[in-house]
Every structure is written in C-alpha cells, then in structure tokens.
Amino acid sequence: NINLNNIFFDVGKAVLHGESFAELSKLSTMLNKNPSVNIVIEGHTDDQGSDELNDALSLHRAQAVKNFLTAKGVADKRVAVKGFGKRVPVAANNSDEGRGKNRRVVFRIVAK
C-alpha cells in the first residue's frame, strides 16, 4: 500500500480540502501516463465514533479521492474503492498522534 500524504478532510466529513489537490494531481498524472495500471483506493479512520459511522466515512473519503481522479481523466473502471473504517490501524488510538496516523487514505496497485 502507498500512503497518499497531504490528503485533508474536515472531521467527520468526506469533502477534500484544496490542499489535497497537489498530491492527487500527481497520482492522476501517473495513472494517465500508465493506462494499464489499476488501483484500489482504501479509506481508514481512527476509533472515534461507531463502527457504522467509520465504515461509511472511510468509504466516502475513498470515493471522494476516486471522484477527483476520474475528473482528471482517469477511467472509472480503473479505480476501485474500499472503506475499512477503524479495522486496520497503523498506530495505537490512545493519542492524537496515533489517531492522526490512522486517519488516512492509501492506494494499492492491483494490475499493471
């Protein structure tokens, strides 16, 4: 999995901040230059809130990233989305720093 750095959302929301566009533009450029590459966008949350809320939020954030990529010309069928909610943490959820690391969007190349 490859972390997408500098992807920003408001707490509890799935609307991309403008500061996210530079990183996502790099990804769209790479995908447009490599049309045989397919990816899965994976959304993750921290452990704050219900399972249902986090599952939906992580999926909606992954979908927001996909929507950006397709708006930049990446074919819809090349980008799948998954929301993992809080089930795959990369750090302990016992501090702001740990929770921040768990709130992430990553992508995985699934075909070349």
Q: Write out the chain's pLDDT in tens, 112 residues.
A: 788 888 988 878 999 999 999 999 999 999 999 999 999 999 999 999 999 999 999 999 999 999 999 999 999 999 999 999 999 999 999 999 999 889 999 999 997 7
76 contact partners, CB below 8 Å, separation of at least 6: 66, 70
**pLDDT reported for residue 8:** 86
Between β-strands 38-44 and 79-83, what pairing exists: parallel, antiparallel or unpaired?
Answer: parallel
Which pLDDT score is estimated for 79?
A: 98
Q: What pLDDT sits at residue 2?
A: 82
Whether the Cβ atoms of residue 93 and residue 47 lie closer than 8 Å to each other = yes
Q: What pLDDT, on a 0 to 100 scale, did the predictor assign at position 5?
A: 85
